């Protein structure tokens, strides 16, 4: 890969990592920060994927817009799921007055939303693989594993994993 392009990828990766895992300066609400972090991670993932799979310009021009569309669709679904989870938590705060007629629709909506997210992921993977060579497909599988592993490592090292994946407290 060309040194200029590698330098660009490295610069963007450093900038994104710093912005993503730096401390919140209190300028933007938490929800906006989460959305910005997701966008930055998606961009970082695309840049690293381009490098790892050695994508051609033609492949990149097909895959990137599709990934962006799929990610926007997933993000909208995840916002709906989050809203339903917040509502469910609110209902569960008063266990004496549990309302099955209110809880069951939320449970169904959460499950349906999660199923839709999984379907989008499967559709995205099928689309990406349809635009890759056999060698790139193999690299794509390994890339996904390594990217998630390195992301987990960064979160663990930064001490934010506990905050991001805090266990549910039992009362």
Write out pLDDT tens, residues 133-151: 999 999 999 999 999 999 8
pLDDT digits (tens, 9 = 90+) for 73-99: 999 999 999 999 999 998 888 767 677
Mean predicted confidence (pLDDT) in 55-78: 93
pLDDT at residue 9 in the model: 47
Q: Quick check: 12 pLDDT over 90? A: no
pLDDT at site 25: 46
Name the average pLDDT for the chain.
81
Of residues 115 and 96, which shows the higher confidence score? 115
Give CA separation, 89 vs 37, 105, 160, in Å: 24, 14, 23
Q: In whole angstroms, give the CA distance from residue 167 to residue 37.
A: 21
Is 0.95 surpassed by the pTM of this model? no
pLDDT band at 154 (very low <50, low <70, confident <90, very high): confident
């Amino acid at each position: 890969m060309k040194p200029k392009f590698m330098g660009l990828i490295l610069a963007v990766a450093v900038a994104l990592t710093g912005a993503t895992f730096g401390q919140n300066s209190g300028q933007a609400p938490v929800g906006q920060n989460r959305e910005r972090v997701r966008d930055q991670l998606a961009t970082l993932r695309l840049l690293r994927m381009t490098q790892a799979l050695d994508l051609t310009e033609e492949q990149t021009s097909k895959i990137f817009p599709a990934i962006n569309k799929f990610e926007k669709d997933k993000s909208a679904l995840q916002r709906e799921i989050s809203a339903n989870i917040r509502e469910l938590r609110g209902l569960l705060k008063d266990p004496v007055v549990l309302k099955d007629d209110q809880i069951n629709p939320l449970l169904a909506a959460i499950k349906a939303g999660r199923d839709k997210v999984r379907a989008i992921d499967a559709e995205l993977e099928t689309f990406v693989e349809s635009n890759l060579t056999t060698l790139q497909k193999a690299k794509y599988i390994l890339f996904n594993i390594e990217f998630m592993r390195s992301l987990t490592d960064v979160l663990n090292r930064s001490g934010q994993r506990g905050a991001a994946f805090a266990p549910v407290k039992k009362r």
